Amino acid sequence: MGERPMQKESWGRSSASRGVTAAGRKLLWASFMCSIVLVLQYLAQPASADPVLASSVGFCKPVRLEATAEERDRSVQCCLPAPRRDPKRFQLPRVHHLRVRRPAHELANDVEYVNKYNLAYERMNALPADDPRSFLRQWHTHCSFCKEAYLQRRLNNSATGYPLQLHYSWTFLPWHRMLIYFHEKILGSLIDDPDFTLPFWNWDNQLDATAGQIPQIFLPYQQSTRWPRQHGRHGKIRNTFLYEGKRRNPNHMPPKVLPLTFDASLEKERANWTHDQIRHANLGQVYEMVYNKVSAREYMGGPYDTSSNFTEAVNVTVGESGGSESLHNTAHEWVGMLNNTAYPDNEDMGVFTYAGRDPIFYSHHANVDRLWNVWKALPDKITPDGHRVRRDYDDYDFLETEFTFYDENADMVIVKVKDTLDSRKLGYTYQPMVEADSLWINHKPNGTKPSYKRSDVRVSTSNAIARHPTSFKLTRRAPTAADLRGTQAQNVNQLSEGVVLEHVRVPELMYVRFDVFLDSPTATAETDEDESAYVGTFTHLPSGVTTVTDLGQKLVHVEDDDMYRTLNIRFSTSLALKRLGVTDWDTDITVTVVPRFRAHGYGWNIKALTFACLRQEFT
């Protein structure tokens, strides 16, 4: 792909005054094609689309790894052992008292807890490889379900022929909730402690200085005044399993704090950021990706049913991550062995394949799970109505989706999503972090507004995200009653406005990241993500799908180096438009995409990512 044509912007703030120019005709044509895509997408949905069964029973294939210069192909076997007994239906536990998950940074000096936590993992690691409770198989559970080793199935257990993928959709939060739920139950059973809970890595916490660091629990304790080797009633701390052999970026050890706006290409430039700069940027990122998402689709991701295939294929639903998943990706990337040629897959945490091999993964996802609870309790200060209740999807296909996991008795258990939505019914809750949470809930962006001459603005007339910042025109309109269909809004004033990049083709093995700004055509990679025009960041962690041939039912797309994932990418715009003073529905805006692609690694020579269209949408 070469450079994309750009056109000078030739309209005013109001679309009513827009002249018909050559650029305008191209933009109108793009809008027309976008509408055609939506119609075809709707008509193409199979009448038999149903809830998904995500099961480890049946056909399983090796998972693709990124090849080094010396190797043509690499893969790892993540398939799980077959159940020894018939699978059983999950039953909600009888809850006599709630188990409370606590923040990892507050548990660092709790010698009894750290030793018990480490012992549980040592015993899990000592289990034989054919035991689904073993640490090996716990790692493989995430690897196989999130790297498309299995086939997606219907509830009657018949395969659809599509790869099973539990990211990029509304399955992300409930599936990971139950993954760590059973992981926690297994650990507790191995140390005879039914009240055992995982710690959560409280990386959104900007109040406590150590909360955003890699928790001390997962690092060696050194002889010092801060971390004395403790003796006496509990003896000394032993946590060797929690750090030995784990692949983590040595440049990101304490006192470094996880920057939620982390960009490897700007790491040197931002190395001298002060604590206050990181803190302010982090608050802004959680505010945008959690607080600013009022609808289930914005926060939880798009639908996933038996018509869903996130590989490059036609007439199928595409993937769509929510704010929760997008926010969580940064911690994966930051902890992993980034930019280290000895670890081409950014292992452990930086890639789906290996993430479950690091105990910090489960602590990280405990915080993702906690934020899901927090999100549902947040007030609505987003929509014009101001009284919309944030809640989970109530769609039949969502509620009836099923997952299989192995429990503490090594039995395969079938869980419906509808049984996962209330952590209290599952018997656990989280230590309240009210003061720390209030910092990002009440955060206000810095108020900086872009300054530019509209006559100098150039917008792209091609649907491509190049390696330099690119601006696109977005035609807007007022919401109507028709927009309420499929949402949980009670009236049009409860709808949340957003912008969607439709059908973005993302190479499966390529790291992709870009920021999006409204009416800020001068934005660059150095532009502050906490300014008024910023609406969010998209991150795609490298992954891959190995070759699948005839499965006895149909041919599934065969992977080669040109394999792409097809995604919708959504950004919430209501608050940003309000901050920018855009109050009229007939005001068109520019959407500027600032890419942060890597100059090396897979995809370094790809000049642009293409997409079908850019459109306004209400949820």
Q: Where are the domains of the chain?
A: 52-222+244-443+455-618
**Residues 94-119: tens digit of each pLDDT:** 999 999 999 999 999 999 999 999 99
Assessment of whether the complete model's pTM goes beyond 0.75:
yes
* CB-CB neighbours of 496 under 10 Å: 25
C-alpha distances out from residue 254 to 109, 391, 479, Å? 16, 37, 48
How far is Cα 11 from Cα 590, in angstroms, rounded to an integer? Answer: 11
Structure tokens at 74: 């690499």
Q: In a 3-state reduction of DSSP, which class is residue 571?
A: strand
pLDDT at 542 (0 to 100): 73
Rounded to an integer, the average pLDDT of 249-259 is: 95
pLDDT at 263 (0 to 100): 80
pLDDT at 40 (0 to 100): 45
pLDDT at 288 (0 to 100): 95
Q: Tell me if 386 sits within 8 A of 490, measured CB to CB.
A: no
pLDDT at 235 (0 to 100): 57
Question: pLDDT: is 561 or 56 the higher one?
Answer: 56
Mean pLDDT of the chain: 85
**Residues 605-616: tens digit of each pLDDT:** 888 999 999 999
pLDDT at 68 (0 to 100): 47
Query: What letter would DSSP give residue 77?
Result: -
pLDDT at 33 (0 to 100): 53
Rounded to an integer, the average pLDDT of 167-190 is: 97
Most confident segment among 246-255, 316-325, 439-448, 563-572: 246-255
How far is Cα 522 from Cα 471, in angstroms, rounded to an integer? Answer: 9
**Residues 203-233: tens digit of each pLDDT:** 999 999 999 999 999 999 985 545 454 443 4
Query: Which of 62-66, 119-123, 447-451, 553-557 bottoms out in mean pLDDT, i.e. has the lowest?
Result: 553-557
Q: How confident is the model at residue 569 (pLDDT cuts 50, 70, 90)?
A: very high
pLDDT at 17 (0 to 100): 38
Query: Which of 30-39, 215-224, 235-244, 555-564 bottoms out in mean pLDDT, i.e. has the lowest?
Result: 555-564
pLDDT at 503 (0 to 100): 92
Q: Convert 50-85 to b/e letters by CB count within 10 Å (16 or more is b).
A: bbbbbbbbeebbbbbbbbeeeeeeeebebbbbebee
Tokens 């190049």 correspond to 466
**Per-residue 3-state assignment (H helix, E strand, C coil) for 45-65:** CCCCCCCEEECCCCCECCEEE
**Percent of the chain residues past pLDDT 90, beyond the cut:** 65
Cα 605 to the center of its chain, rounded Å = 26
How far is Cα 78 from Cα 544, in angstroms, rounded to an integer? Answer: 13
So what CATH class is 52-222+244-443+455-618? Answer: mainly alpha
Which residue in 377, 170, 203, 174 sits closest to 294, CA to CA?
Answer: 377
In 508-580, DSSP assigns E strands to 512-518, 534-540, 564-572
Question: Does residue 316 register a pLDDT over 60?
Answer: no
pLDDT at 225 (0 to 100): 44
**DSSP string of 453-482, one letter each residue:** -GGG-EEESS-EEESS-EEEEE------GG
DSSP alpha helix (H) spans, 402-479? 434-441
Respond yes or no on whether the N-terminal peptide bond of residue 348 is cis (omega within 30° of 0). yes
Rounded to an integer, the average pLDDT of 90-96 is: 97
Most confident segment among 126-140, 256-270, 442-456, 552-566: 126-140
**Residues 26-72: tens digit of each pLDDT:** 545 555 556 554 444 444 444 457 999 999 988 898 877 654 444 44
Question: Does residue 494 register a pLDDT over 80?
Answer: yes
Calculated CA dihedral for residues 40, 44, 49, 51, nearest 10 degrees? -40
Which residue in 597, 569, 565, 611 sits closest to 146, CA to CA?
Answer: 565
**Residues 376-387: tens digit of each pLDDT:** 999 999 999 999
Structure tokens at 242: 């929690």
Q: How confident is the model at residue 139 (pLDDT cuts 50, 70, 90)?
A: very high
What are 229's strand-pairing partners? Answer: none
pLDDT at 45 (0 to 100): 45
β 412-416/402-406 pair status: antiparallel
